[in-house]
């Protein structure tokens, strides 16, 4: 009991310390890298333990695979707690799934650093790069048609094309004022 | 002395000239050799008398040339004096027919047996006095028998053929330059004729004409009957039956008129919609392929349209059919069977053939918003450019955010000109009209809210601890 009380106290002390540092500098870069990495490692291990609890409860519906940037992440149903940008890559509610007519799937994820920064390398995608979306026992193959950045204002503007479409979006890794958008067009399904 | 000679000459001239003249126009005939086994009976209905005699030749005393009797019920006396005459009592038709029988009778080609004389004589009597009844008998004044059936038939055929012309006689024929004409004579007589035209052959009852010159050509045909090289002469006597000898009958002539012309068929390919030679869109009227069939639907040529045209020269007269088997690029095949005729009064045929360009309806639907609330985008202008970046159409969306346009075969670029405030203009879209299928563009400009995806370390840390505590 004493150990638990001690752990909680120590945790709050560390938080207060860090908040103080941030308030002074208002810049997370002042936090030593080794601390960030250490915390990330700890966080990852705990997260992995938590994920083992039950996949079924998370309503897994598919997977996003981008080999070029080494991404293979599960997708969760709209409305599921796991379909959250702070947990996984996230399907936005405007999406029309690939087994439907005029399909357009919007997927967002974090860029930057850390375990949740699934789209940290999204800006490395070029035209013709391949993206695979597994959904309902089918694989939908997309090719990158265009990549662009637009002003970050909480919205993205995309034109629906005459094909199954996949839109990947994240914050620009190079400019905080911009939103990165990758427009992909399906070319086959298996 | 001179006077004596002069008078002698005058006297001799007066004495001999009439004698010479009489001798040149006088003939004497006699009953010559008999024809074995031939006996005739001749019944004269005018007198009711039956005459009968043996078959025998009449021959001229000096030349020994044979002659036929043309007065069956009059008696013949040897050595009667005969002179040439024109038998006025006979019609022209009778004279001609008697002449023809005499010509084709004894002595004509292989008619060397005396029976041909007997047959010819028999037929001449029938023509000279058709009222009489003439028949062969088995002996002198014997019973009626049938003799020389085939020989009678042969002479009759020769005579009838002589008085008949080939079916092709005096007709007009029309052919196209470079073609040959083969005419078959339905009367089966043309082999008896010849022609001086070097480009005309007569064989196997056909006239074959080749290498004729353009224009009207008269081709003459002639039947020459020069077996005897002398004319037929009729003889009369005051004391004996009249006679006719044999000889050549007049040549038979006829002509045909051969009209040789050129023909042409001009095929002009036109766009069905515009009625112009200029193709629509990126399509091409050239390259269309037609097959040409004759009246029996036998394929005789394949024609390709080039520079909107095809030309056929000197197609023979007749009925033809034209069928398109391949259209130019971007056009649909016209399955219509085009029938046309070429004739001497329709030598130059112009055909305008149509092709309909492949067209597609282009339907543009312009909306903006998100799945929860898409609104039609009204008054959005689109320009459509062809492959050469030339403006083809400008279209504007209706209140429903929709606009339609029909475009011909080709490559196009669709460019949005204006947009609703707060939305960007779509990128140009390239498309092709290839197969007539409707092309739909549904421009949905999504404007959707996205979560903040920038990693915030402090926020993450707080969440992490809350996560642990939970």
Supply the pLDDT for residue B270.
97
Q: What is the tens place of the pLDDT at every residue in B41-54?
A: 999 999 999 999 99
Supply the pLDDT for residue A174.
86
Least confident of B139-143, B147-151, B448-452: B448-452
Report CB contact under 8 Å: A15, B462.
Answer: yes
Using a CB-CB distance cutoff of 8 angstroms, which residues of chain A are in contact with residue B462? 15
Name the minimum distance, in Å, from the CA of B422 to any CA of chain A: 10
Q: What is the mean pLDDT of residues B10-35?
A: 65
Low-confidence ranges of chain A (pLDDT < 70): 1-58
Q: What is the mean pLDDT of residues B141-167?
A: 96
Supply the pLDDT for residue B166.
96
Report CB contact under 8 Å: A114, B458.
Answer: no
Supply the pLDDT for residue A13.
53
Report CB contact under 8 Å: A94, B370.
Answer: yes
How many whole angstroms separate alpha carbon B334 and alpha carbon A103?
40
Report CB contact under 8 Å: B426, A176.
Answer: no
Supply the pLDDT for residue B463.
58
Report CB contact under 8 Å: B454, A171.
Answer: yes
The DSSP H or E segment spanning B41 is strand B26-44
Preferred mutation among B448, B459, B462, B466 to probe A, highest tally of A CBs within 10 A? B448
Rounded alpha-carbon distances, angstroms, from residue B207 to B152, B225, B315 = 30, 20, 22
How many whole angstroms separate alpha carbon A91 and alpha carbon A80?
10
Which of the 8 DSSP states describes residue A167?
E
Q: How confident is the model at residue B374 (pLDDT cuts 50, 70, 90)?
A: confident
Residue position matching structure tokens 């890298």 = A33
Considering only CB atoms, B457 lies closest to which of A36, A109, A159, namely A36
Using a CB-CB distance cutoff of 8 angstroms, which residues of chain B are in contact with residue A113? 455, 457
Taking residue A110's Cβ as centre, other Cβ atoms within 10 Å add up to 26
Supply the pLDDT for residue A24.
36
| Domain spanning A56-189: CATH superfamily | Sortase (2.40.260.10)
Report CB contact under 8 Å: A108, B453.
Answer: yes
Rounded alpha-carbon distances, angstroms, from residue B274 to A46, B107, B329 = 76, 81, 17
Does pLDDT of B346 surpass 90? Answer: yes
Preferred mutation among B453, B457, B465, B467 to probe A, highest tally of A CBs within 10 A? B453
Report CB contact under 8 Å: A110, B370.
Answer: no
Residue of chain A nearest B365, judged by CA positions: A160
Using a CB-CB distance cutoff of 8 angstroms, which residues of chain A are in contact with residue B426? 159
Q: What is the tens place of the pLDDT at every residue in B122-134?
A: 999 999 999 999 9
Residue of chain B nearest A31, judged by CA positions: B457
Share of chain B above pLDDT 90, in %: 83
Supply the pLDDT for residue A115.
81
HSE, CB side, 13 Å, CA atoms: give it for residue B285.
24
| Nearest one of B256, B168, B258 to B217, comparing CA atoms | B258
Name the minimum distance, in Å, from the CA of A137 to any CA of chain B: 25
Report CB contact under 8 Å: B448, A156.
Answer: yes
Does pLDDT of B237 surpass 80? Answer: yes
Locate CATH 2.40.260.10 in chain A.
Answer: 56-189
Where in B85-152 does DSSP place strands (E)?
133-137, 144-145
User: Residue A101 is encoded by which pair of tokens?
Assistant: 């007519």
Using a CB-CB distance cutoff of 8 angstroms, which residues of chain B are in contact with residue A50? 467
Q: What is the mean pLDDT of residues B367-378?
A: 83
The DSSP H or E segment spanning A48 is helix A33-51
Using a CB-CB distance cutoff of 8 angstroms, which residues of chain A are in contact with residue B453? 85, 108-111, 119, 169-171
Report CB contact under 8 Å: A90, B461.
Answer: no
For chains A and B, CB pairs below 8 A equal: 108
Residue of chain B nearest A176, judged by CA positions: B454
Name the minimum distance, in Å, from the CA of B379 to any CA of chain A: 18
Chain B interface with A: residues with Cβ < 8 Å:
370-372, 423-424, 426-427, 440-458, 460-465, 467-469
Considering only CB atoms, A94 lies closest to which of B448, B455, B469, namely B448
Taking residue B219's Cβ as centre, other Cβ atoms within 10 Å add up to 20
The DSSP H or E segment spanning B304 is strand B299-304
- Helices B149-162 and B115-128: crossing angle in degrees, nearest 10, is 60
Q: What is the tens place of the pLDDT at every residue in A159-184?
A: 888 789 999 999 998 888 899 999 99
Supply the pLDDT for residue B23.
46
Preferred mutation among A21, A43, A159, A165 to probe B, highest tally of B CBs within 10 A? A159
Dump the DSSP string for B360-374.
Answer: EEEEEEEEEEETTEE
Pairing of strands B359-370, B331-332: unpaired
Q: What is the tens place of the pLDDT at every residue in B254-292?
A: 999 999 999 999 999 999 999 999 999 999 999 999 999
Report CB contact under 8 Å: B455, A112.
Answer: yes
Considering only CB atoms, A108 lies closest to which of B371, B450, B469, namely B450
Using a CB-CB distance cutoff of 8 angstroms, which residues of chain B are in contact with residue A170? 453
Q: What is the tens place of the pLDDT at every residue in B174-208?
A: 999 999 999 999 999 999 999 999 999 999 999 99
Preferred mutation among A94, A100, A163 to probe B, highest tally of B CBs within 10 A? A94
Residue of chain B nearest A112, judged by CA positions: B455
Preferred mutation among A160, A169, A173, A175 to probe B, highest tally of B CBs within 10 A? A160
Q: What is the tens place of the pLDDT at every residue in B64-102?
A: 999 999 999 999 999 999 999 999 999 999 999 999 999
Supply the pLDDT for residue B454.
72
Q: What is the mean pLDDT of residues B23-32?
A: 85
Task: Give A36's contacts (C-beta < 8 A, 6+ positions apart).
Answer: A113, A114, B457
How many whole angstroms separate alpha carbon B252 and alpha carbon B206?
18
Task: Give B86's contacts (C-beta < 8 A, 6+ positions apart).
Answer: B234
All domains in chain B, ordered by first residue? 25-162 (no CATH), 172-231+248-261 (2.60.40), 264-356 (2.60.40.10), 359-446 (2.60.40.10)
Name the minimum distance, in Å, from the CA of B466 to any CA of chain A: 11
- Helices B92-104 and B149-162: crossing angle in degrees, nearest 10, is 120
Does pLDDT of B1 surpass 60? Answer: no
| Nearest one of B134, B122, B137 to B38, comparing CA atoms | B137
Report CB contact under 8 Å: B465, A11.
Answer: yes
Q: Facing residues of B202 across strands? A: B207
Task: Give A129's contacts (C-beta < 8 A, 6+ positions apart).
Answer: A66, A68, A143, A144
Supply the pLDDT for residue A57.
57
Q: Measured in whole angstroms, how far is the alpha carbon of residue B151 from the centre of its chain?
A: 39
Considering only CB atoms, A86 lies closest to which of B427, B440, B463, namely B463
pLDDT mean across residues, chain B = 91
Using a CB-CB distance cutoff of 8 angstroms, which residues of chain B are in contact with residue A8? 469
Q: CA-based angle B73:B77:B83, to the nearest 5?
A: 90
Q: What is the mean pLDDT of residues B315-323?
A: 96
Name the minimum distance, in Å, from the CA of B437 to any CA of chain A: 15
């Amino acid at each position: 009991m004493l150990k638990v009380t001690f752990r909680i106290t120590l945790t709050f002390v560390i938080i207060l310390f860090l908040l103080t540092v941030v308030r002074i500098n208002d810049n997370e870069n002042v936090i030593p890298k080794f601390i960030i990495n250490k915390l990330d490692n700890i966080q990852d291990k705990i997260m992995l333990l938590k994920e083992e609890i039950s996949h079924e409860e998370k309503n897994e519906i598919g997977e996003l695979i981008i080999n070029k940037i080494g991404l293979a992440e599960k997708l969760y149903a709209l409305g599921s707690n796991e379909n959250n940008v702070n947990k996984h890559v996230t399907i936005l509610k405007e999406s029309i799934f690939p087994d439907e007519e005029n399909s357009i799937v919007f997927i967002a994820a974090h860029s930057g650093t850390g375990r949740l920064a699934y789209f940290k390398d999204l800006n490395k995608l070029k035209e013709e790069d391949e993206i695979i979306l597994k959904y309902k026992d089918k694989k939908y193959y997309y090719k990158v048609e265009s990549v662009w950045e637009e002003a970050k204002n909480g919205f993205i503007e995309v034109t629906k094309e005459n094909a199954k479409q996949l839109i990947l979006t994240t914050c620009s890794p190079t400019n905080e004022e911009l939103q990165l958008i990758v427009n992909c067009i399906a070319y086959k399904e298996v | 002395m001179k006077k004596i000679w002069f008078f002698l000459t005058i006297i001799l001239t007066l004495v001999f000239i009439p004698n010479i003249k009489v001798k040149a126009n006088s003939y004497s005939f006699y009953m010559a050799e008999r024809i074995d086994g031939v006996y005739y009976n001749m019944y004269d209905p005018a007198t009711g008398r039956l005459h009968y005699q043996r078959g025998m030749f009449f021959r001229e005393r000096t030349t020994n040339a044979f002659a036929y009797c043309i007065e069956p019920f009059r008696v013949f006396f040897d050595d009667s004096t005969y002179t040439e005459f024109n038998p006025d009592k006979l019609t022209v038709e009778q004279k001609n027919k008697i002449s023809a029988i005499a010509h084709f009778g004894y002595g004509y080609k292989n008619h060397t047996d005396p029976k041909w004389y007997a047959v010819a004589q028999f037929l001449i009597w029938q023509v000279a006095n058709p009222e009489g009844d003439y028949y062969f008998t088995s002996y002198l004044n014997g019973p009626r028998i049938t003799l020389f059936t085939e020989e009678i038939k042969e002479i009759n055929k020769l005579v009838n053929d002589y008085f008949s012309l080939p079916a092709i006689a005096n007709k007009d024929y029309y052919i196209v330059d470079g073609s040959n004409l083969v005419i078959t004579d339905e009367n089966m007589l043309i082999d008896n004729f010849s022609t001086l035209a070097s480009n005309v052959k007569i064989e196997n009852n056909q006239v074959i004409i080749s290498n004729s010159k353009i224009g009207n050509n008269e081709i003459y045909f002639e039947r020459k009957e020069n077996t005897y090289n002398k004319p037929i002469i009729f003889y009369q006597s005051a004391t004996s039956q009249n006679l006719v000898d044999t000889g050549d009958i007049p040549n038979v002539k006829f002509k045909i008129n051969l009209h040789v012309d050129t023909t042409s068929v001009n095929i002009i390919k036109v766009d069905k919609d515009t009625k112009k030679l200029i193709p629509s869109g990126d399509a091409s009227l050239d390259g269309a392929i037609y097959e040409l069939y004759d009246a029996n639907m036998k394929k005789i040529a394949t024609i390709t349209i080039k520079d909107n045209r095809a030309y056929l020269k000197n197609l023979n007269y007749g009925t033809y059919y034209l069928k398109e088997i391949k259209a130019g690029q971007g056009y649909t095949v016209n399955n219509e069977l085009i029938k046309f005729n070429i004739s001497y009064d329709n030598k130059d045929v112009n055909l305008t053939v149509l092709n309909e360009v492949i067209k597609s309806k282009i339907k543009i639907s312009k909306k903006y918003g998100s799945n929860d609330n898409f609104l039609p985008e009204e008054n959005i202008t689109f320009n459509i450019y062809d492959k050469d970046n030339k403006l083809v159409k400008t279209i504007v969306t209706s209140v429903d955010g929709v606009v339609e346009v029909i475009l011909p075969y080709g490559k196009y670029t669709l460019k949005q000109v204006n947009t609703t405030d707060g939305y960007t203009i779509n990128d140009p879209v390239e498309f092709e009209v290839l197969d007539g299928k409707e092309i739909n563009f549904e421009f949905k400009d999504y404007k959707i809210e996205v979560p903040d995806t920038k990693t915030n370390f402090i926020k993450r840390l707080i969440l992490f601890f809350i996560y642990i505590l939970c």
